[in-house]
Amino acid sequence: MDSESESRAQRSNMRPEKKSKDRSEPQLDRELLDLPPELRWREWMRRIEAVLFASASPVPRKDLARIVGQGTSVDLLVEDLAADLEGRAFEIAQVAGGWMFRTRPVYASAIRAAADVSDQLLDLNEFDVAILAAIAYHQPITRDGLKDIFGKEISRDLIGRLHAHGLIGTGPRAPRRGAPYTFVTTDAFLATFGFESLRDLPDSEQLNDAGLAARA
């Protein structure tokens, strides 16, 4: 090796190594043992509030449990947070196996009058809703099953619209010739209509009042 190459090699060895930046998030302190019990509880409530505020879909209990102390009751924290929100324009709703914020129904007309919520509105007509109700009550159900209920063919476009809104999904294939796909409702369906689970679907009397009993 000539003297020039040897000099370059020495300078290269003298260069300090570049340290990679630590981009990892700081570890979440779940227990908050440095806080007195009352402030600890309030901080857990605020964390749950922040998560629900940031989430576009219902947040299940198991996810909220990750941000509070081990063994802490998420249900009691949510209950206290709901009480804390009394008198506010929004509330905590338990839907689709989790919790989410939603505006109180009393302010619906004010929102429609002043807020731009057109992209949040479902473009569903009465027959679309009737089909959706039939799927909810008879799932898993095929298009032929829907045809038997309504006495006419149910278009693929209609099923596609409900799919596009995320209100229905594909269920198991029916155990008969051709093994056609069935349709089922989704968690988005529960969240959209404010149901915690399918057990909360209206009974026959409520359906009759809504004019859907004969169809669903």
pLDDT at 1: 52
Residues 55 and 99 in one domain: yes
C-beta of residue 57 within 8 angstroms of C-beta of residue 191: yes
CATH of the domain at 43: 1.10.10.10
The reply to whether 100 and 149 lie within a common domain is no
The CA–CA distances, whole Å, from 111 to 45, 83, 103, 192 equal 27, 23, 9, 17
Residues in the chain where the model's pLDDT stays below 70: 1-25, 115-122, 204-216
pLDDT computed for residue 209 by the predictor: 58
When divided into structural domains, the chain yields a total of 2
- Residue 23 falls within a domain, yes or no? no
> What's the domain range around 51?
37-107
In this predicted model, what pLDDT tens digit does every residue of 119-163 receive, in sequence order? 555 678 888 888 998 999 999 999 999 999 998 999 988 998 898
Please report whether residue 129 resides in a domain.
yes
Output the pLDDT for position 40.
95
pTM above 0.85, yes or no: no
The answer to whether residue 154 sits within a structural domain is yes
Is residue 96 within 8 A of residue 191, CB to CB? The reply is yes
Q: What is the pLDDT of residue 187?
A: 86
